[in-house]
Amino acid sequence: MRLKEPRIAPLAEGEGDERQKEILSMRGRGGPTLNIFRTMVKSPDAAEAFLTWGRYILSKKSSLPAREREILILRTGYLCKSGYEFTQHTRIGLESGLTNKEIGRIKGGAEAGWSEADAALIRFADDLHNDFFVSNAVWAEALKHFSERQCMDAVYTCGQYTQVSMLLNSFGVQLDEGQTLDPELADYK
Amino acid sequence: MRLSKARIEPLGDEVISPELAAYLRQRAASPLILAIHRTLAHDPATMDAFLAWGGHILSRDNGLPPRQREMVILRTGFLCKSGYEWAQHIRMGAREGLTEPEIAAIKIGADDPIWSDADRALLRMTDELHTDQFISDGVWTQLKAHFDTRAIFIAIMAAGQYTTVSMFLNSVGVQLDEGQVLDPDLADLP
């Protein structure tokens, strides 16, 4: 984690006005409210607008299959050194069909034994992280396995989780109860 | 520009409904329908969700003054080498009060003497988010001296959003709109 304690503390469970409670109730899962949402909702207008876009990326409206989407998100979170993002999406990735072994391999990059289609996704995320541009070779490789629309959704997905990493890292959002940090991600500065 | 031809062509007038055309012209405060919107419009559900979030970042009452929002956007677009983003936002930046020497100084960065302490903190924040996706303790302290949490939230999100927009413009190869001139510093990129 970049910070050991938050710079902006999340709302405590049960705290907040009616509007904030309503926004938190829309984030779609049972169980305790995640720290990322309890932090964002301190700016309710921004949280609501952000969630409209965030829900698109994570929904079936996006043309990417969930497993492929999670490869892009995990690789982006890893490159942005967001321990929180990587930890949350380890769980979501497992629910979306990635194995524990594959999630470990995401840290190793495109050469770590992936299928051609999966390797193309990792190269796609790497190009966007390093140069904010998908090179001709990687774009052509991606189009062998994915439609143009899926490639556009892949760009949005990498961008969105770069943005989320910037916020998580800089506000110092801490892991939720019961989560453990991958030791390789512990000492990010 | 990263690409001299679009990888995904923008939609032509014949497939854009009059209602959508009116909305996009009004949104861009332009008689043209911008190439970025014509490209996003390939998928209406994507465009609606994307513009809902983008619209909040560009709104006038989100806590970050519009002039300073445009500074963050321009610096991000310049660092991401997006010729399209830069060309669009020098127009918007000027409308929000950035002077010509200030727009030129955005390319130089936070150390240019033209900036106030508050402006300088925002430019340093943008640079750190671009390079490291994290704001260091030193720059965080400078930001807190001039902005409240709500404004800092939007500033971070503006840097992130226009990083996404740059990734999209660069990778899809959105070409300049009629009447726009490419900045020579962003012209010949591999």
Per-residue pLDDT at A13: 80
- Whether B136 has its CB under 8 Å from any CB of chain A: the answer is no
Per-residue pLDDT at A132: 98
Tell me how far apart the alpha carbons of residues A82 and B39 are, in angstroms, rounded to a whole number: 31
At B104, phi and psi to the nearest 5?
-65, -40
pLDDT in tens, B152-190: 999 999 999 999 999 999 999 999 999 899 999 998 766
Chain B contact probe: residue of A37, A73, A166, A168 with most B CBs at under 10 A: A166
Per-residue pLDDT at A25: 83
Instruction: Tell me the average confidence (pLDDT) per consecutive run of 10 residues in chain A, 189 residues long.
Output: 93 89 76 89 94 94 97 98 96 96 96 97 98 98 97 98 98 93 79
Test B167 with A155 for CB contact under 8 angstroms.
yes
To which CATH superfamily is domain B1-190 assigned?
AhpD-like (1.20.1290.10)
Domain limits, chain A: 12-61, 66-171
Chain A contact probe: residue of B36, B171, B186 with most A CBs at under 10 A: B171
pLDDT in tens, B1-33: 899 999 999 999 999 999 999 999 998 888 899
> ipTM value of the model?
0.96
For B113, the token pair is 């003497």
Give the nearest partner residue to A132 out of B45, B133, B166, using CB atoms. Answer: B166
Average pLDDT over residues B33-55: 94
Residue of chain A minimizing CA distance to B190: A135
Residue B84 has pLDDT above 90, yes or no: yes
CB contact residues (below 8 A), chain A span 23-82, against chain B: 40, 42-43, 45-46, 49-50, 52-53, 55-56, 61-63, 80-82
Contact A10, A40 (CB under 8 A): no
Per-residue pLDDT at A189: 62
To which CATH superfamily is domain A66-171 assigned?
AhpD-like (1.20.1290.10)
**At a CB cut-off of 8 Å and minimum separation 6, what does B64 contact?**
B72, B147, B151, B154, B155, B158
How is chain B classified by DSSP, letter by letter? ---SS-SSPPPPGGGS-HHHHHHHHHHHTSSSPPHHHHHHTTSHHHHHHHHHHHHHHT-TTSSS-HHHHHHHHHHHHHHTT-HHHHHHHHHHHHHTT--HHHHHHHHH-TTSTT--HHHHHHHHHHHHHHHHSS--HHHHHHHHHH--HHHHHHHHHHHHHHHHHHHHHHHHTPPPPTT----GGGTS--
Per-residue pLDDT at A24: 86
Per-residue pLDDT at B188: 73
Per-residue pLDDT at B190: 61
For B40, the token pair is 């996003």
For residue B15, the one-letter residue type is V
Average pLDDT over residues B59-65: 95
pLDDT in tens, B67-81: 999 999 999 999 999
Per-residue pLDDT at A85: 96
Test A132 with B163 for CB contact under 8 angstroms.
yes
Residue B144 has pLDDT above 70, yes or no: yes
Domain limits, chain B: 1-190
Name the residue with higher pLDDT: B127 or B24: B127
